[in-house]
Structure 1
């Protein structure tokens, strides 16, 4: 048991570090190919930071561990808008502009609702295709909105800052001095590392669940979801310290959007036609309620106070008893 736990932790470490290099390498490569900074910010970085959730859930579904896969996505969705957002609001007021509340946030909530319903129905190749189509439409909408007005400049600036920053563990050379071949190689090796880390994490988490006679969805909802959400937690804390609270909201709701649509599509397509795993009603309802709660609190005054942060943290504390009772 201890050996499996150590392997799962090793997989999580490899997954986190490799995902960092995958996103950085991909975004710098896109920048060198003269792809619009808005597209880099919304698509490359937005999708890339959710890669751990996609691949962990995809690998789990391909192994037949659909409960772990669904639990990971559901847990990440709930954790992002309760625990992570609550911690950010405790550190300082989280404020947003009205257009984010009117457009990006409702789109993310709608994505969570769609995923919750289809996860309850049962993720399969058919529902996977439906989620994939919805994901493509959502990306087009996000890129179009990002090109309008101030958001164009904001997203472009954020994308530039991201590509200029080093990875958590990086080579001590400035980005401008690295050879042209380095970033593509970094991205490929990062992808390989994410796959290896996902394999280690999923196989050992599934074995631990079997040894402890714990449902896979519980392991996915707790340990795996918390592990794959660590990049969002780190990014959120850093952005809040810099006073970029709108980036905090965009990152968390955007992560939920990509988790639900792209991650759900990956799980559905990887599950195969014989998959019969369905999310419990309590899990699906909890996803919807937590997304709606965060949206409602932000709409009240376009900001979250410390009291409201405690409400979100309390909501996260209540999710586990609800799940266990289902």
Structure 2
């Protein structure tokens, strides 16, 4: 076990630096964008949105560069399962969520369409370069659409809460400094984290996919956990749910697309028979819970429904442990 200490330390340090550097990257990038006169809603949707998904994307890219495609795909799917089951379920138990936003009610079906398209790409057991390219191109189109949607509905509760979450203003020098420090440490911590995770996987004889679905997925979802929980505590419920939906869409398009471009490869069949169905099931529950089925009534996730999401996540983890 002593031989595992460097790998365990690498994972712990990697997670800590990853979360901290992602926050500083958002601080630097958002303030740099302000220097170029970008409207606040664009800064909020694009810069802050990409920043919270930066850990997953960088870890996925670096794992793919090292030929660990299973870890990359596991990170994408596992992060989505973690976001809905663990993060949103736990948050709703603490703070029941009420959803008024029209944007969220439209974005969940969009997420389901993205899930269906990604499943079609993966159905042959191989993620190809062309498929990865389509996913990434779609991600940039989605960013453009989300920005247009937010600017077109500035009175929407989600648009207002997105603008409120933009980091505080800092000077030009500080903005550039934190932008450089943030991206540098994001890359470095991702490399350290991937190395430690792969070492532990090899030591215990488990697949990179399992590591991606569990340790890596939970660790790279920490920014979403912090953002969602803080938003719910401040009664910014649309932002809490919107963070998860946006992150999950980014994961399927960006985090899943990168390994297709960097290292096209086959992957374990369990992705299609075990992990993807779990992600679909939790997302459908999110759709059922968050959209109101009565005219004039807001949607939302109450404590009981949050408990169902959390129990679903725990059941999946137990099943994963039994089948690994």
TM-score normalised according to structure 1 size: 0.90
2:196 is aligned to 204
* Gap regions ≥5 residues in structure 1: 165-174
1:52 is aligned to 55
2:176 is aligned to 184
1:314 is aligned to 311
1:276 is aligned to 266
1:167 is aligned to none
Task: Please tell me the root mean square deviation across aligned C-alpha atoms, in Å.
Answer: 1.9
The number of residue pairs the alignment matches comes to 312
SS in structure 1 of the partner of residue 78 of structure 2: helix
- 1:77/1:151 Cα in 2 relative to 1: closer, same or farther (>3 Å)? farther
Deviation string 1:121-167 (CA, Å, 9 cap, x unpaired) is 32221111110122122122211211123446853663354221xxx
Deviation of the 1:48 alpha carbon: 1.2
Please say if 1:291 is aligned against 2:294.
no
Please say if 1:2 is aligned against 2:25.
no
SS in structure 1 of the partner of residue 266 of structure 2: coil
2:45 is aligned to 42
Deviation of the 1:181 alpha carbon: 2.4
Query: Please, which of 4, 13, 26 is the counterpart of residue 23 of structure 1?
Result: 26
TM-score normalised according to structure 2 size: 0.90
Alignment partners' CA distance in 2, 1:38 and 1:22: 18
SS in structure 2 of the partner of residue 162 of structure 1: coil
Deviation string 1:147-190 (CA, Å, 9 cap, x unpaired) is 123446853663354221xxxxxxxxxx44x3x22212211221
Deviation of the 1:300 alpha carbon: 4.2
1:1-326 paired onto structure 2 within 5 Å: 1-97=4-100, 99-121=102-124, 122-151=126-155, 155=159, 158-164=162-168, 175-176=169-170, 178=171, 180-272=172-264, 275-278=265-268, 279-300=271-292, 302-323=299-320, 324-325=322-323
Deviation of the 1:210 alpha carbon: 0.5
* Gap regions ≥5 residues in structure 2: 294-298
2:296 is aligned to none
